[in-house]
Every structure is written in structure tokens, then in C-alpha cells.
Amino acid sequence: MATLPTTNLTLADWAKRRDPDGSMADIANILSQSNEILDDGVFKQANGPTSHRVTVATGLPDVYWRQVNQGVYPSHGTTAQIDEGIGMLESRSEVDIALANLEDDARALRLSEARMRLEAMNQEMATTMFYGNTAANPEKFMGIAPRYSSLSAGNKQNIFSCTGTGNALTSIYLVGWSDETCHFIFPKGSSAGLEQKDLGEQSVDVFNASNTYTGKMQALVDWFCWKMGLVVKDWRYAARICNILVSDLTALATTQAPTGAFTTNILHRMAEAIYRIPNLGMCKPAFYMNRTVHSALSRMAMEKQSSVLNIEQGLSSFGTARQYLSFMGIPIRRCDAILNTEAQVS
């Protein structure tokens, strides 16, 4: 007998979403993550439908001292153009109409599916923001980590190694957001953010677990799409503190001991990164780290009785009041997309 594939909601899945009284259950999404990037990121419409062309200065014009009755040579600056790509992340939900008819409120069933899809897309977009690499995955957009991945590159002065080796490593990222420094993009002529459409009832193809076509069924279809890219217009407005050994963070020992070396301790490295940003007044800076680093940073600050780490009051991207940690006045955001298994940056 033909069976629905695991990509569709099954009768067993439907049953697992019921309360004892038969009503739709409120699902506790234990797979949700903390991704606070959208609280800070600036969005700008791209100047193209699939990419954004950025013009950057590569050389300044010559200037001269002169005396009266002496001339100067004409000169001009030099520029280069870079095309930043836009990725298209999609998801599609197809619920068998017979299954939907078992539910008094079919909208509630579809909403439970939508919530989990939106969380999955949020996590994937956050991961791509840091680790997307168009050389390996051209359908995505280029993230922060591949841009700051070599201690001998032209932007090496904004990469700070905490000397950890192996692949049990993590990073802290500092981004200064603005239209002229670092920002997200969405396609020309479209709107920013995630788009969702109720495509109504449709006839859809059905495949079994072996991916064999078994026929068609009537289904309620929802479509989700998020088109986004990342532009680093001025590389000086982002920095990466890399090669942080996770075991040292957990134990607050060796490279991350409160009295450790200035060249490996994350508090000192964060201070160094701040001073590599040319002008904090022309951007909205924020640090990004996962909860392992966030926890260690808090404990380290208590050990050092530091006054540079504070609890600040502010608003989330949805306008609700919130509290957050700050370091030297710069917000510290927790992002679970940042790995504890990064490769060593050398």
C-alpha cells in the first residue's frame, strides 16, 4: 500500500499533536534556538533582483603641497565593484485534506506546522549568516566566517586568534551594522523578511519512503520563502575572535583563565576588536557568541570584578522591552547557530 513520505504530516504525527481532550496541543518546541541577529541587522533593498553590486574604494587620489604659481597633477581615486549574492530559502507544507478534515480547526493544524517551519528557516538563515560559503554552496549567500578565515589575508588585522588548536573551537563575532558598512539585503522590488502564502487546496504528487511515485492526493498547501543576502561593504567594520578553545572556556583555565595572557583571554581580545572598528559612531555594533561563550564571559567578568560588563535595557526588534549584556557599551547577543566545532583559523 502506498504510504506518505516522511516529508508530509502523517496520521501518527497528527495524533501526537492532540491533547487528551482531543483538542490541538500547544507544542513546546524544544528544538528552538536563540538567534538575536535580527535585533540588530540593518536591511537594505538590493540594486538587482538576485544580487547587489557594491562599489568600494581601493585607492585614494593623490594630493599635493604647492606654492604660488606652481601647478599640481590631476588625480583620481580607484574603485572596484563586488557582486554580493542573495540566497533563496524555501519550504513547502502539504497536509492531506482527509487529515485536515479530522481537525475541527484546520487552521490550528496548519499553524502548528508553520511555526516549526519558521523556526527551521530562522535557524538555517542564522547558520548561513555566519557560515554560508558560496564556493561550496552557490545557492546560499556568503557568511561572516569565510570572509574572516585566514590570519594571512588582507583583513588579518581584524582577526584575533586565541591560539586554540584542533576542531573543538568557537568564535566571537563583532559586526558594525549600517547602510555603509555591513547590512543584509533583499531583492530589488520585493519586501524584506519571510514571505508566506496559503496556496489553498491542490492536487499534489505523493512519493513513498523509497521515493517511488504513488499517485496524487488533495492537500492544503502552504509556501514559505525568505530571500536574503549579506553585504560587508567595509571589511574594517567586522571582526572575528577565533580559535577559542571550548574546554578552556568551560573550565576558565589555561588560555581563558581570569588571569590569563592578554593575547588569548576573550575579554582582552574583545577590547582589541572594538578598537579596530574605525568609527563606532557611524554604525550599530554588536557582539555575537553562543551560550557556551556567553556563560564563560559572565563568569569571567565576575571573577575579575569587571565594570565593563553591564546589564542594559533596550527594545527587541518587535518593540518589546528586554535586557541584554553589554561590553564597553556594545550589546552582547547570544546566537546558538555559532558552533563549538569550528575548524582552526590559521
In a domain, 180, yes or no: yes
| Count of domains forming the chain | 1
In a domain, 141, yes or no: yes
In a domain, 56, yes or no: no
In a domain, 342, yes or no: no
346 residues of the chain, pLDDT tens digit each: 333 444 554 434 434 444 544 443 443 444 556 778 877 888 999 999 999 998 877 778 899 898 998 889 998 888 788 899 999 999 988 888 887 787 666 777 777 778 888 888 889 999 999 999 999 999 999 999 999 999 999 999 999 999 999 999 999 999 999 999 999 999 998 877 788 888 989 999 988 888 888 899 998 898 989 999 999 999 999 999 999 999 999 898 888 887 778 889 898 999 999 999 999 999 999 999 999 999 888 887 666 555 666 666 555 544 555 566 888 889 999 999 999 999 999 9
Structural domain of 248? 34-48+84-334
In a domain, 79, yes or no: no
What is the tens place of the pLDDT at every residue in 288-336? 999 999 988 888 766 655 566 666 655 554 455 556 688 888 999 999 9
In a domain, 67, yes or no: no
Distance of CA 109 to the CA centre of its chain: 29
What is the tens place of the pLDDT at every residue in 86-109? 999 999 888 888 877 876 667 777
In a domain, 248, yes or no: yes
Long-range CB pairs of 98-103, under 8 A, 24+ apart, other chains included: 98/218, 99/9, 99/11, 99/14, 100/220, 102/14, 103/14, 103/24
In a domain, 203, yes or no: yes
